[in-house]
Amino acid sequence: MAWRLSFRSDGAFREELSSQQTSYSSGYSAAAAAAAAASAAPAPACSSNGGSGDEASTSSRTSSSSSSSSASAGAIEGYFRGPGVCWGSDDAGCPRIMELDDKEALLLSTWVRTGLWVLPDVAAQLTVRAVPPLPPRRSGVDGEDEEEALHRGPTTWVELRLRGGGKVAALLELCEASWRPVSLRLLLAGEHELWRFSDWREWQPGLWLAAAAVQTSSCEGSPANTYQLGSLAVHPSLGSSSMPAGAAAAAAGFAPPPTPLLPADAEFVRGAPEAVPAWHTVSGHSLVRPRLNGREVGWFILDTGASGFVLDPQAANSLGLESFGELQVISMVGRIASRFRRAASFELGPLRIQRPLFMELPCSGLVSGVPEGGRVVGIVGYDVLRRAVVHMPPHPRRPTLPPTTVDSPAAAVAARASAAQLRSGPLPFTLRLEHPAALEPSAALQQAELAVAPPSSSGGASSGQAVGSATATAAAAAAGSGAAAVPLPAPSSNSSRDSSPASASSGLRIAASTSPCSLQGPAGPAPPAQQRQHHPEWLPLVIVSSLPHVELELLLPGGRRHRGLFMIDSGAGGFNLIISSRGAELMQLGAYSGGGGALGAVAEIMGVGGTAKDRVTARRCQLEEVRLGQCCFRDVQAVYHPPRGAGGGGGAGLELSQHTSGIICAGLLGRCGLTFDYARMRVAVAGPR
């Protein structure tokens, strides 16, 4: 891939990677936080770490009322923030603020590759300590042969971390002859990211830049990405006496790009209905039927736990989509080899996306109870949720059949068939996709309230109402009665960190003109007490690896409480809550899960692309209470992945972040009405408290 890099000696940088098929960019601005705070002065509780400006070039729909506020990293208080603002733009050029592990990995790897890590402004942000060398066979990054290692000579190892609570460690191997980095190992959750450096160039006396780098993973069979520097620009530091006129304006290029509410590759078709027909399956998944290149090719799972589009290879071949590249996708069961497919268009309800990029993965076996005559051929995830406000009401409930009297064997057979269909067949429901700038705050709140209101006495179902159980979860990924300017909640001041048959989960991931939001709630008197429980509550989202995370509070056995970030995964059917091995260790769950009944019983988790033998073994435990905002769930059965050394093993796909505790699954999500507003980094929760 072609690699363009510009940076400043205070640590700010901007990188652009491009090939014939794809392009990405990322950056870091130390000054963006202060600038955003100043621009948000009239609304201090809604401070944004994004850049500001007009987005005239990306969308004709963009205006002062249609740009998003980029939530700051660590928008929920009590979690790692780190210095400045990191951002990344995807293949479609849509930027997002990078948080937690994403931010740490980007800063550590880039500062090492550029040599900036030794400069005073950057070194002040790091802790550095000497560590023992790794075992010889693992000391170098994949690709370095023994002769090269011998020629290089002895090396020394140090560990780098970001100050202020950084959890990602970077093990840096330094050549003792030149003291230039040889390799870097980022200790991410569930895997190690490996870098090998070469072609060092001195950009300032004593400071060296790696003009060539190979990046791969510690997982067997991981593809290697090779980077060769195409262009380099070094900017003076802000306030430097050597800064020429106009350089300060050029330095603004390090700030996050303007972020439109609706990215330039998407549009809402005028006159198309916002209601989208969908089905809820017995396995707890929500299915929709989009159109690819103008054709329906099968059912897609609506999944908040998917970091991008997924397409089955058979469906991709039927459409004649070209394949390119290689990547490894992280599912519940670990890493799966994949490649990319590019379509001309994707349509779901009123939303149309141009040139969508798909990850190719087999999708068979994930869903039970697919509508008759159909098959699951893909997954809809982050790409749709970022481009629409998506509303999902609670999961539909299956009706209870009254006792019937039959007068013939044929009638008895028909009655049994009808009962079986109601028990295991798919149930229809309706979700809504709305333009991110479509509604006023009061309208959005009313729409979310309708989603959880009791059905009308006439028995008719409204188009905005869904029935159900595992649908809101999968559709939680797509839940939406969106609003363009719904108030963004202030961070909670008391948030703190840490204190049977296999079920299928499709969860997977790949290893801002900002206009401040109104902080005022909808006008008018407070609702009556009996209706107050139906009002939605906006909670801040933290996006890590394009996956949404929200804070939960758990009441553990023995009366202890744990607050932590959990990934929202509507595609994880068959479960309420999955606790990672890190979370289980913090909560000391092993001490309480060995009792009788279902406690400590074994459960199996199967992920996308997995086979019958590709399953993760977990254990069940009972939680007295789980709180999502003001929604309280009692006696929740959860599963946890035991830590290594306590029966754990495998399950790398469950370890999503060094900062998080687990996954909220379809069974729990389906009890709420949910509205997802990724453009403003928030989710609304409506339901009984």
pLDDT, mean over the chain? 74
The predicted pLDDT at position 421 comes to 59
- Ranges of beta strands (E only) in 569-679 are 577-579, 602-607, 615-628, 631-640, 660-664, 673-677
Element (H, E) at 103: helix 100-114
- Contact yes or no for 58/259 (Cβ under 8 A): no
Confidence of residue 33 (pLDDT cuts 50, 70, 90): very low
Identify which has the larger pLDDT, 225 or 303: 303
- Residue ranges per domain, the chain? 2-236, 265-401+418-518+531-689
Give alpha helix (H) positions in 382-489: 382-387, 409-424, 441-452, 471-476
Q: Please give the C-alpha separations between residue 63 and each of 46, 48, 96, 260, 404, in angstroms, as whole numbers.
A: 20, 18, 19, 9, 60
Kindly report, residue by residue over 602-617, the tens digit of the pLDDT: 666 655 544 545 567 7
3-state SS string for 179-246: CCEEEEEEEECCEEEEEEEEEEEEEECCEEEEEEEEEEECCCCCCCEEEEEEEEEEECCCCCCCCCCC
The predicted pLDDT at position 527 comes to 33
The predicted pLDDT at position 403 comes to 65
Average pLDDT in the 593-598 region? 43
The predicted pLDDT at position 111 comes to 96
Kindly report, residue by residue over 78-131, the tens digit of the pLDDT: 788 887 899 999 989 999 999 999 999 999 999 999 999 999 999 999 999 999
The predicted pLDDT at position 140 comes to 41
Average pLDDT in the 583-591 region? 83
**Residue 163, pLDDT above cutoff 50:** yes
Confidence of residue 377 (pLDDT cuts 50, 70, 90): very high
Q: 413-417, 494-498, 521-525, 572-576 — which is least confidently predicted?
A: 521-525
Q: Is residue 375 classed exposed, middle or buried when 0-12, 13-18 and 19+ CB atoms within 10 A define those classes?
A: middle
Kindly report, residue by residue over 384-410, the tens digit of the pLDDT: 999 999 999 888 887 766 666 666 666
The predicted pLDDT at position 642 comes to 79
Average pLDDT in the 438-445 region? 53
Q: 253-262, 504-513, 523-532, 649-658 — which is least confidently predicted?
A: 523-532
